[in-house]
Amino acid sequence: MTKNISGMLFALAMITVVISMDVLFFRNRFWERLIANIGIVLVFIAFFLRFFKTP
């Protein structure tokens, strides 16, 4: 149960970061926004696999 809650909080944090970056910096720039979103998601996936995945 704790693993599900931490995964949901992690996903919520990722969504919050992506949306805030879109609104603050990349409002009218499609390609830059797309590349930044992909980069943010890849960084979050790397952190998730490093710290939350059980060996």
What confidence tens digit (pLDDT) does each residue in 9-50 have? 888 999 999 999 888 888 888 999 999 999 999 999 998 888
Q: Domain map of the chain by residue range?
A: 2-51
CA separation for the pair 2, 34 (Å, rounded):
32
Predicted TM-score of the model (pTM): 0.79
